[in-house]
Structure 1
Amino acid sequence: MLDRLPFLVGLRYVRAKRRNHFISFISLTSMLGLMLGVAVLILVLSVMNGFDHELRTRILGMVPHAKIEAREGMVEWQSLAEKLMQREHVEGVAPYVEQQGMFSVGGRNEGAMVNGIHPDWEDNVSIIGANMQRGELDDLVPGEWNIVLGSMLAQRLGVGVGDRVTLLVPEASITPAGVFPRLKRFNVSGIFSVGAELDASLAYANIEDMQTLGRLGDAVGGLRLELDDLFEAGNETQAILNELGPGYRGSDWTYSQGNLFQAIQMEKRMIALLLTVIIAVAAFNIVSTLVMVVTDKRADIAILRTIGATPRSIMGIFIVQGLTIGTIGIAVGVAVGVLLALTIADVIGWVESVLHIQFLDAGVYFISDLPSRLLFTDVRDIVLAAFGLTFLSTLYPAWRAARVQPADVLRYE
Structure 2
Amino acid sequence: MFRPLELFIGLRYTRAKRRNHFISFISLVSMAGIALGVTALIVVISVMNGFDNELRTRILGMVSHATISSVDGSMSDWSGAQKKAEANPHVLGAAPFIEREGMLQAERVSGAIVRGVLPDQEPKVSEVHHKMKAGKLEDLVAGGYGIVLGRELSYKLGVDVGDQVVVYAPEIRATPVGAVPRLKRFTVVGIFEIGMEEYDAGLAIVHLADAQRLYQTDGPDGLRLKLDDLFKAFSVARSLSQELGNFYRVRDWMQGHANFFKAIAMEKRVMFMILSLIVAVAAFNLVSTLVMLVQDKQADIAILRTLGASPRSIMGVFMVQGVVVGVIGIALGTFFGVLLATNLEAIVKYIEKTFEISVLPSDVYYISDLPSDMHWDDVGLIALLGFVFSLLATLYPAWRAARTQPAAALRYE
TM-score for both structures, normalised by structure 2: 0.96
1:51-66 pair list within 5 angstroms? 51-66=51-66
State the partner residue of 2:365: 365
* Structure 2 Cα separation of the partners of residues 69 and 281 of structure 1: 55
Give, in angstroms, the shift of residue 3 of structure 1. Answer: 4.9
* Structure 2 Cα separation of the partners of residues 380 and 228 of structure 1: 28
State the partner residue of 2:101: 100
State the partner residue of 1:403: 403
Superposed CA offset, 1:119-167 (max 9, x none): 1111111001111111111111111011111111111111111111110
Of stretches 31-40 and 396-405 in structure 1, the one that deviates more from structure 2 is 396-405
State the partner residue of 1:299: 299
Give % identity.
Answer: 54
State the partner residue of 1:342: 342
1:3-402 pair list within 5 angstroms? 3-72=3-72, 73-106=74-107, 108-197=108-197, 198-217=199-218, 219-402=219-402
Give, in angstroms, the shift of residue 399 of structure 1. Answer: 1.4
Structure 2 unaligned residues grouped into runs of 5+:
none
Give, in angstroms, the shift of residue 2 of structure 1. Answer: 8.2
Task: Judge conservation of contact 1:41–1:276 (CA < 8 Å) in 2.
Answer: yes
* Structure 2 Cα separation of the partners of residues 15 and 61 of structure 1: 56
* Structure 2 Cα separation of the partners of residues 253 and 122 of structure 1: 17
Alignment partner of 1:398: what SS?
helix
Of stretches 27-36 and 69-78 in structure 1, the one that deviates more from structure 2 is 69-78
TM-score for both structures, normalised by structure 1: 0.96
Alignment partner of 1:400: what SS?
helix
Letter matched to residue 5 of structure 2? L
* Structure 2 Cα separation of the partners of residues 388 and 255 of structure 1: 38
Alignment partner of 2:62: what SS?
coil
Structure 1 unaligned residues grouped into runs of 5+:
none
Task: Judge conservation of contact 1:2–1:309 (CA < 8 Å) in 2.
Answer: no
Superposed CA offset, 1:52-92 (max 9, x none): 01001111110111111102221111111111111132221
Task: Judge conservation of contact 1:67–1:225 (CA < 8 Å) in 2.
Answer: yes
* Structure 1 Cα separation of the partners of residues 110 and 27 of structure 2: 62
Of stretches 299-308 and 319-328 in structure 1, the one that deviates more from structure 2 is 299-308
* Structure 2 Cα separation of the partners of residues 351 and 244 of structure 1: 55
* Structure 2 Cα separation of the partners of residues 364 and 178 of structure 1: 46
Letter matched to residue 363 of structure 1? D
* Structure 1 Cα separation of the partners of residues 409 and 144 of structure 2: 98
Task: Judge conservation of contact 2:81–2:244 (CA < 8 Å) in 1.
Answer: no
Give, in angstroms, the shift of residue 21 of structure 1. Answer: 2.0
Letter matched to residue 159 of structure 1? V
* Structure 1 Cα separation of the partners of residues 80 and 57 of structure 2: 29
* Structure 2 Cα separation of the partners of residues 15 and 184 of structure 1: 83
Task: Judge conservation of contact 2:69–2:248 (CA < 8 Å) in 1.
Answer: yes
Task: Judge conservation of contact 2:151–2:192 (CA < 8 Å) in 1.
Answer: yes
* Structure 2 Cα separation of the partners of residues 110 and 11 of structure 1: 72
* Structure 1 Cα separation of the partners of residues 172 and 361 of structure 2: 42
Q: CA RMSD in A?
A: 1.4
* Structure 1 Cα separation of the partners of residues 359 and 175 of structure 2: 56
Alignment partner of 2:120: what SS?
helix
Give, in angstroms, the shift of residue 104 of structure 1. Answer: 0.3
* Structure 1 Cα separation of the partners of residues 60 and 289 of structure 2: 51
Q: Which runs of 4+ in 1 moved over 4 A?
A: none
Letter matched to residue 137 of structure 1? L
Task: Judge conservation of contact 2:70–2:249 (CA < 8 Å) in 1.
Answer: yes
Letter matched to residue 408 of structure 1? A
Alignment partner of 1:123: what SS?
helix
Letter matched to residue 105 of structure 2? S
Alignment partner of 2:159: what SS?
coil
* Structure 2 Cα separation of the partners of residues 409 and 249 of structure 1: 80
Superposed CA offset, 1:17-43 (max 9, x none): 222222112111111110110000000
Alignment partner of 1:187: what SS?
strand
